[in-house]
Structure 1
Amino acid sequence: MSIRQRNGIWWIDLRTPSGERVRRSTGTDDKRAAQEYHDRLKAELWRVAKLGDTPQYTFEQAAVRFLQASEGQKDYATKVRHIKYWRDQFAGRAISSLTTEEVIDALPTHAIYKNKGRVKLTPATRNRYLATIRRIISLCAEWGWISHPVKLRPAKEPTVRVRWITQAEATALVNVINKDWLKDVTRFALATGMRSGEILSLEWSAVDLSRNIAWVSANKAKSKKARGVPLNPEAVALINAQKGIHPTRVFTRNGNPQKYVDPKMFARACKAAAIVDFHFHDLRHTWASWHVQAGTPLFVLKELGGWETLEMVKKYAHMDATHLAPFANAVTFWSHGTPEKKTATG
């Protein structure tokens, strides 16, 4: 039988004029539609073999080759997730038949989470889905599978948000936090710039107080790259204060390891300190901003904070303009001479 059903979906099974076997999902549970797809594909294969027409490649074929080329990349799992989504939209379609309008209209708008329910996706997240299918299409052009790749422009993303507070505000914030564990975690974030997940997952085996250094392993780092974190005296004192509380974790909530900082608890502390529009992750922005203001070079800050590229750190560059000061006097006007005294005329 040239079409057969598997788990509710119809699959085709045929041979080309040259004898090559083709087995493929039609992406539909409608037998009539599946049969029509089979007949059109069979005719297309005949035209390719007998008349020299350009072969048509499906989205699935392109997706498989794309994932093979992406193996070993750090965002491979994300690419797989995107492919699963796009396969639901364009299963069985010839990659050359996709249009700009179809792809844009098919972009996901919401995600469904177990605890949060239906959540609207940000422009940045939608752009990641778009980037995956755009890369697939561009590779198809490189492979000679299509001659005219569709143009897919990313949506405009909001300006990168950098929210930081002064040292006086930070002191006020720490003073109003009434939970010792949260107070310690907050102070440690300000001292090291570590992310909340990195702090809460920090283990004693990853701390060397004889060298004043801690390590963030690759599987716990956002960039998926391990890094060493130098500990200043404030950070060392905070770690020493945690000794004996838990056998493996450095920071806990009354001896109980935590996966994340309670956002509501942190928000209440910010409100008590009269600090608005501030989240726990902004402590990292604050730490980076203080560094730049103190003269830490951006390339050094990149290594300290574990950012993957220097471009990611440039959002803090405006915090320090001292390197521009020598050029401020390159153009002057008023200091060239004493202004003439104007004489009133009748």
Structure 2
Amino acid sequence: MSLKKRGNTWYIDFVAPSGERVRCSAGTTDKTQAQELHDKLKAESWRVDKLGEKPAYTWDDAAYKFLMETTHKATHKDDKSRLRWIQPYLTGKVLRDIDREMISRIGEIKAKQSSPATANRILALIRSIIRRAALEWEWIEKVPRIRLYKEAKRRVRWLTPEQVKTLLVELPPHQQDMVLFALSTGLRQSNVVQLEWSQVDMNRRVAWIHPDQAKARKAILVPLNSVAMGVLTRQVGKHPERVFTYHGKPVAWANTKAWTGALKRAGIENFRWHDLRHTWASWLAQQGTPLNVLQELGGWESESMVRRYAHLSQPVLIEHSELAATMLNGTNMAQLEEKKVSDNSLTF
């Protein structure tokens, strides 16, 4: 039988003239609609085989191929999660029938459910897949124009040293050390939690993050300052492989009830674990660390990610702005100022 029902959803199953078996979800609980899609796919398979037309690839075909080609991406798990959300809206849809209006409606639904920023992640993924289908796989002739929502620029959230001291008092000892290490290195939560002794050289005072562990998929060399070294020294002997543990077992997650409870008791609001990285970067910027050095230390792929901290680089900005004064002092500006004062005094 060409139509089969699984649960409440109808599925299509037939053999094309080429001998290929076509099986896919109709994406509907209505048998009439499922039959219409079945007839359409069967007619298209005949035209492909007999008339040499391009196959009518579906969204499901494209999404699956995209996932297979992007397993190396740091956001692969996020992509799979987003595609699960997208699936009910585009499953069974022929790629060339997916137009701007259809995609815009999906964006509107997500924007209402969550936020324009989250909707943009969905729209960007759809756009990326359709572009591949057109430009790389040559499955379709054109790409619909997809417009993203405007997003407000968020301020960088960071803590003062005094706030950090208050927070540390409220944290259990194992999380105190994790926070201190994060603030000393600027590492992301996953890199701190999953750090292994094989990634640490205490003699050379360095640690490293492998490319497959880094968001930008580039290795990061992590210099260990005195505080970071103190943290590591306290962890020695607790576990043969992992650096950070709790009751003898590797820590699985840092954003726990203990973390949120400590924030509340410390009176710190609107602060995530990832903001420890912002705090580290903000502190370095305030102390005059050049942005290119900050980019290298933090393992950021693009300079634009580091520009968020430029406005905090007051000491180094003042130092550089003074260069203009140095040039001016090499002219006769001083004599001009003296003459101006002298001229003004003659008027009294």
TM-score (norm 1): 0.76
Q: Which residue of 2 aligns with 1:33?
A: 33
AA of the residue aligned to 2:14: D
Superposed, 1:28-107 pairs within 5 Å as 28-43=28-43, 56-67=56-67, 69-70=69-70, 72-107=72-107
1:101 shift after superposition? 2.9
Q: Distance in 2 between matches of 1:255 and 1:316?
A: 38
Superposed, 1:105-124 pairs within 5 Å as 105-107=105-107, 121-124=114-117
AA of the residue aligned to 2:205: N
Contact residue 289 and residue 313 of structure 2 kept, 8 A? no
The structure with the largest helix share of the pair is 2
AA of the residue aligned to 1:325: S
Q: Distance in 2 between matches of 1:153 and 1:186?
A: 40
Q: Distance in 1 between matches of 2:6 and 2:287?
A: 63
Do residues 135 (structure 1) and 128 (structure 2) align? Answer: yes
1:89 shift after superposition? 1.7
3-state SS of paired residue (1:299) = helix
1:231 shift after superposition? 0.7
Contact residue 117 and residue 151 of structure 2 kept, 8 A? yes
Do residues 325 (structure 1) and 321 (structure 2) align? Answer: yes
1:209-258 CA-partner distances (Å, limit 9, x unpaired): 11111233455444454433211112112221233444443333354432
Do residues 152 (structure 1) and 154 (structure 2) align? Answer: no
The equivalent position to 2:222 in structure 1, one of 217, 220, 229, is 229
Do residues 316 (structure 1) and 309 (structure 2) align? Answer: yes
Q: Distance in 1 between matches of 2:233 and 2:176?
A: 15
AA of the residue aligned to 1:153: R
1:325 shift after superposition? 0.9
3-state SS of paired residue (2:208) = strand
Q: Distance in 1 between matches of 2:37 and 2:171?
A: 66
Do residues 299 (structure 1) and 292 (structure 2) align? Answer: yes
3-state SS of paired residue (2:11) = strand
Contact residue 202 and residue 250 of structure 1 kept, 8 A? yes
Do residues 238 (structure 1) and 231 (structure 2) align? Answer: yes
Instruction: Show structure 2 runs of 5+ residues with no match.
Output: none
The equivalent position to 2:160 in structure 1, one of 151, 156, 166, is 166
Q: Distance in 2 between matches of 1:50 and 1:288?
A: 63
Change (3 A) 1:212 1:78: same
Q: Distance in 2 between matches of 1:86 and 1:274?
A: 39
AA of the residue aligned to 2:40: R
- Paired residues in the alignment total 331
For the aligned residues, what is the CA RMSD? 3.9
Q: Which moved more, 1:100-109 or 1:159-168?
A: 100-109
Contact residue 171 and residue 259 of structure 2 kept, 8 A? no
Contact residue 140 and residue 146 of structure 1 kept, 8 A? yes
Change (3 A) 1:218 1:108: farther
1:277 shift after superposition? 3.4
Instruction: Show structure 1 runs of 5+ residues with no match.
Output: 111-119, 342-346
The equivalent position to 1:215 in structure 2, one of 165, 184, 208, is 208
Q: Which residue of 2 aligns with 1:259?
A: 252
Change (3 A) 1:21 1:127: same
1:133 shift after superposition? 1.3
Contact residue 47 and residue 53 of structure 1 kept, 8 A? yes
Q: Provide the identity percentage.
A: 39
Q: Which residue of 1 aligns with 2:4?
A: 5
Contact residue 59 and residue 95 of structure 1 kept, 8 A? yes
Change (3 A) 1:109 1:252: farther
Q: Which residue of 2 aligns with 1:182?
A: 175
Q: Distance in 2 between matches of 1:49 and 1:145?
A: 16
1:269 shift after superposition? 4.1
1:95 shift after superposition? 1.9
AA of the residue aligned to 1:183: Q
3-state SS of paired residue (1:10) = strand
